[in-house]
Structure 1
Amino acid sequence: MRKLKRYRSTKFKAKDSKYNKTMADYAVSFIECLCHTKGTWAGKPFELIDWQEQIIRDVFGILKPNGYRQFNTA
């Protein structure tokens, strides 16, 4: 399984926002536990490629000071 070698947060991250690796890892792990349900890939787990993992880490790992996600839509 390929993994993102080096994560760099998006250039759209607010100055007061922080990257939370635990939250990002949780989201990536959750998605990779899911399996396809139809077609040729049925029963096989999702495997995120680098650009997909980058987006998931940006959306779920970047948090505002109040603890909420900075990005709510992707």
Structure 2
Amino acid sequence: MQAGDCLLFNNSRMLHGRKYFDPSTGFRYLETAAVEWDYLRSLLNLKYLQHPAIEALSILNTHRYGVQSSY
């Protein structure tokens, strides 16, 4: 990458991290992580059924395009 370049990530990525940029080498370390939404949603639903007092995060109970899920 050159100065002024931009790297875009897919919106389904949950987390990314980076360290400082060293202009003398042009090196920057980037790290990303992703989540399988169906697995996470299923896990949260199971925890909610086991412990009804725990409210699942509303964003995870909503389909990723904003349509309410069927569960």
The TM-score, its normalising length taken from structure 1, stands at 0.31
Query: Structure 1 or 2: larger strand share?
Result: 2
Which structure has the bigger radius of gyration?
Answer: 2
Higher relative contact order (CA 8 A, sep 6+): 1
Query: Structure 1 or 2: larger helix share?
Result: 1
The TM-score, its normalising length taken from structure 2, stands at 0.32
